[in-house]
Amino acid sequence: MKDEPREPRWDAPIDVEAHLAAIPEGVTTKGLFLTNLADRIEAAGAPRPGRWTPFRNYPVREYAALLVRCAEVVHPGLPLGRGLREVGFTAYPAFAATTLGKVVFSFAGTDPKAALRLAPRAYDLVSAGTSQVTLEETPGEDRLYMRGIYSFPQLHEAGVIEGGIRTFGGDVDVLVSGVAPGEAVLHVRWR
């Protein structure tokens, strides 16, 4: 993961079938994120794609497919990568609205940097230990190293981090490097 940080390629074509096929069995996320996507799809006028229990584990392959569906339904005029980013903006509020999310992010108060410091713990709690997210803090730029995150980390997860920080009043640019299946480094540059 030594390439230079760059703006995510929001407009690049995405081979969704190949992406979904590359997700290992046993990689999970919590139902609250699938429920959030289903709510958004339904609110956009499309049929609700299913129901999930908020803190039960579900396959990330199912989640990633629903992410794509949500981006296409809710943001039909955008390229898929940009739609995935926009969908990412809603993930933090969905988690923060849960009791667990309130407890985790209560430690941040109103500090966007403190919220970013809690991101690795939040990812650990919602991925059932199938992913690894670490944070390296440096002056002017913080880096989130994501491994085992198969929900389009260079696009959707960049939106999750950007949206979460904005919720706390922070202003950042999120660049990416080291993009590979299930991996990316998110470079969070504070303004």
CATH code for position 86: 3.90.1520.10
Q: What is the pLDDT of residue 129?
A: 63
DSSP 36: H
Domain assignment present for 5: no
Domain assignment present for 144: yes
Domain assignment present for 158: yes
Q: What is the pLDDT of residue 126?
A: 86
Three-state DSSP class for residue 86: helix
Residue type, 10: W
Measured distance CA(153)–CA(148) in Å, rounded: 9
Q: Which residue has the tokens 């590979």?
A: 180
pLDDT in tens, the chain (191 residues): 468 999 999 999 999 999 999 999 999 999 999 999 999 999 999 999 999 999 899 999 999 999 999 999 999 999 999 999 999 998 988 888 889 889 988 989 899 999 999 999 989 888 876 789 999 999 989 999 999 999 999 999 999 999 999 999 999 999 999 999 999 999 999 99
Q: What is the pTM of this model?
A: 0.94
Q: What is the pLDDT of residue 78?
A: 98
Q: What is the pLDDT of residue 1?
A: 45
Domain assignment present for 9: no
Domain assignment present for 55: yes
Look up residue 41 and give its two tokens: 């799809």
Number of structural domains (the chain) is 1
- Evaluate the CA torsion angle 169, 106, 41, 124 in order and state its sign: positive
Domain assignment of residue 70, given as a range: 16-190
Closest CA to 172 of 150, 190, 145: 190
Domain assignment present for 4: no
